[in-house]
Amino acid sequence: GVALVGVPVGILALGFTATGIAAGSVAAKMMSAAAIANGGGVAAGSIVAVLQSAGAAGLSLGAKIGLGSVFGSLGATAG
């Protein structure tokens, strides 16, 4: 219900928005560090990827983690 409707203020405040990561934000710094650590890309399922996906889709962090857990388990079973 309500958890799937609004994007928490905290995610927006970090710079994870519906249009992408805001330049100069904490999110941009997190993305840069994650990309450097992973050889140039942000790993799927990383905290940066999860937060950006939540910001872009308008899902709450709890809902996004729940969906990631469900679909990640299905992917692991199928793959």
> Could you give the maximum distance between any two Cα atoms of the chain, in Å?
39
Q: Convert the pLDDT of each residue in 51-79 to its tens digit.
A: 888 888 766 555 655 555 544 444 444 44
Name the nearest CA neighbour of 25 among 55, 62, 64, 61: 55
Q: Convert the pLDDT of each residue in 9-23 to its tens digit.
A: 788 889 998 889 999
Structure tokens at 27: 């999110």
Residue 27 domain boundaries: 1-37
Phi, psi angles (nearest 5°) of residue 21: -80, 130
**54 plus 73 within the same structural domain:** yes
**32 plus 50 within the same structural domain:** no
**23 plus 3 within the same structural domain:** yes
**25 plus 55 within the same structural domain:** no
**Prediction pTM value:** 0.62
